[in-house]
Amino acid sequence: MEWIQNKLRKSFFIMSIIALFIIISLFMSLNMGVIRIAPMDVLKTIAGYGTEKQELVLFDFRLPRLIIALLIGAGLGVAGAILQGVAQNELADPGILGINAGAGFAVVLFIFFFQGSTASLGMLSIFVMPFFAFIGAFVAAFFIYILAWKKGVTPTRLILVGIGINAAFAAALIIFQLKMNPNDFMQAAIWLSGSIWGTNWKFVLATLPWVILLIPLTLYKARYLNVLNLGDSLATGLGADVERERRILLLIAVGLSGSCVAVGGGIAFLGLVAPHIARMLVGPKHQFLIPASALVGAFILIIADMIGRNLLAPSEIPVGIVVSVLGAPYFIYLLMRTN
């Protein structure tokens, strides 16, 4: 009993430290940008004593963007943790498995065929878009699951099939992309490489319900993830309906990555790296691993967004590219290490 108490206390301690880091990085990120606002002025503006311009920059541009980064980072981190648990493979990630590609394809179709252009996104379409992304992600996941199914789903087959599905969506995307005019093409290219482009409160409202609902649901299901990690036969012996729980968890992961892709584009590797770091910090128990993955994911994305906005300012590197450049080497390292 005491051991569990210790473990609990230690995990809470680590998670509060990450949360502290997130708050610090949020604060730093609010300062930085094309228009610099000194830390004291940020505090003043938040307290309500700032100039009109400072209020505009902070409340209408930077703050919604950072909150979106927070939500997406948390969502993708948890989605990755679920997928790694379900696939029993530490190399699983919504980007590598092709779920992001499916969502991305659906969103590109939606924007360019129903909307005409990105400029005229109305209130309604902002809220409809995550649903489209969800459908795309769901279709991709469905195909991956069905095609990997052969008297059960082995992790290897799941990943190989995912790579194939990814290639198929990429080919379909390039066909539509080359038909666009140069401006839309640029938009699509930036968005597909992962970019927080919706920087107003509407996008926050569109993402929030998904993340707020699905992360607690994942926490509730965490014990099934623990049991699944013991292997299918043991899990069945312990009384879990393995295939049913696996499908529900997959569906949650699809919902999370779909809604995140709708706002943040195809951010790859975040869902891979965040659970890994979280596992190193709090261990493999999913009750701790899931909130920790959410926190680590959010932290990484805020930092990546900060780098992307400021490194080559005034031009902005899409945040997904920053995450890929940081995450791909880590993935390669893991790949070389695992058997």
Partner 1 sequence: MITRELNIRSSSTQNDEDIKVTTRPFVASFILIGGVFLLLLGIGASISVGAVDIHLKTVWEAVFHFNPELTNHQIIQELRMPRAIAAALIGAFLAVSGAIMQGMTRNPLASPSIMGVTEGSAFMIAIAFAFFPGTTYLGLLIWSFVGAGIGASLVYTIGSFSKGGLSPVKLALAGTAVSALLSAISSAIAIHYHVAQDISFWYAGGVAGAKWVSVQLIIPVAVIGLLLAFIMARSFTVLSLGEEVAKGLGQRTIIVKAVGTIIVLLLTGAAVSVAGSVGFIGLVIPHITRFLVGLDYRLIIPCSAILGGLLLVLADIGARMVNPPFETPVGAITAMIGVPFFLYLARSERRGL
Within positions 247 to 276, which residues make up the interface with partner 1, using CB under 8 A?
268-269
Q: Is residue 315 near partner 1 by the rule CB under 8 A?
A: yes
Q: Is residue 223 near partner 1 by the rule CB under 8 A?
A: no
- Cβ neighbours of residue 258 closer than 8 Å, sequence gap 6 or more: 99, 103, 130, 133, 134, 135, 136, 137, 138
Among 313, 271, 312, 311, CA closest to 293: 271
Which of 32, 160, 248, 251 forms a contact with partner 1 (CB under 8 A)? 160
* Cβ closest to partner 1, residue 15 vs residue 72: 72
The contact mask relative to partner 1 for 193-212 (x = CB under 8 A, - = no) is: x-------------------
Quickly count: other Cβ atoms within 10 Å of residue 182's Cβ: 7
| Rounded to 5°, angle at Cα 303 from 299 and 306 | 145
Q: Is residue 328 near partner 1 by the rule CB under 8 A?
A: yes
- Least Å distance between CB 337 and partner 1? 6
Q: Is residue 32 near partner 1 by the rule CB under 8 A?
A: no
Question: Which amino acid makes up residue 205?
Answer: L
Q: Pull the structure tokens for residue 272.
A: 């891979």
Q: CB–CB of 210/73 below 8 Å? A: no
Q: Is residue 59 near partner 1 by the rule CB under 8 A?
A: no
- Cβ neighbours of residue 88 closer than 8 Å, sequence gap 6 or more: 155, 228, 229, 231
* Cβ closest to partner 1, residue 37 vs residue 101: 101
Total number of residues that touch partner 1 (CB under 8 A): 50
Q: Is residue 233 near partner 1 by the rule CB under 8 A?
A: no
* Cβ closest to partner 1, residue 37 vs residue 99: 99
Say whether 261 sits in a helix, a strand or coil.
helix
Q: Pull the structure tokens for residue 179.
A: 């038909």
Q: Is residue 172 near partner 1 by the rule CB under 8 A?
A: yes
Angle (deg, nearest 10), helices 201-220 and 123-148 = 40
Near partner 1 by CB under 8 A, which window of 144-152, 206-214, 241-249, 282-290?
Answer: 144-152
Say whether 121 sits in a helix, a strand or coil.
coil
Which of 8, 20, 43, 167 forms a contact with partner 1 (CB under 8 A)? 167
Which of 6, 156, 200, 236 forms a contact with partner 1 (CB under 8 A)? 156
Q: Is residue 151 near partner 1 by the rule CB under 8 A?
A: no
- C-alpha–C-alpha distance, residues 326 and 339, integer Å: 23
- Least Å distance between CB 25 and partner 1? 22
Estimate to the nearest angstrom the gap between the alpha carbon of 168 and the chain centroid: 22
Among 282, 276, 284, 257, CA closest to 335: 276
Q: Is residue 317 near partner 1 by the rule CB under 8 A?
A: yes
- Cβ neighbours of residue 245 closer than 8 Å, sequence gap 6 or more: 221, 224, 228
Near partner 1 by CB under 8 A, which window of 1-9, 52-60, 157-165, 232-240?
Answer: 157-165
* Cβ closest to partner 1, residue 173 vs residue 294: 173
* Cβ closest to partner 1, residue 48 vs residue 182: 182
* Cβ closest to partner 1, residue 286 vs residue 309: 309
182 cis-preceded (ω within 30 degrees of 0): no
Quickly count: other Cβ atoms within 10 Å of residue 300's Cβ: 25
Residues interacting with partner 1, by CB under 8 A? 91, 95-96, 147-148, 150, 156-157, 159-161, 163-168, 170-172, 174-175, 177-179, 182, 185-186, 189-190, 193, 268-269, 312, 315, 317-318, 320-321, 324-325, 328-329, 331-332, 335-339
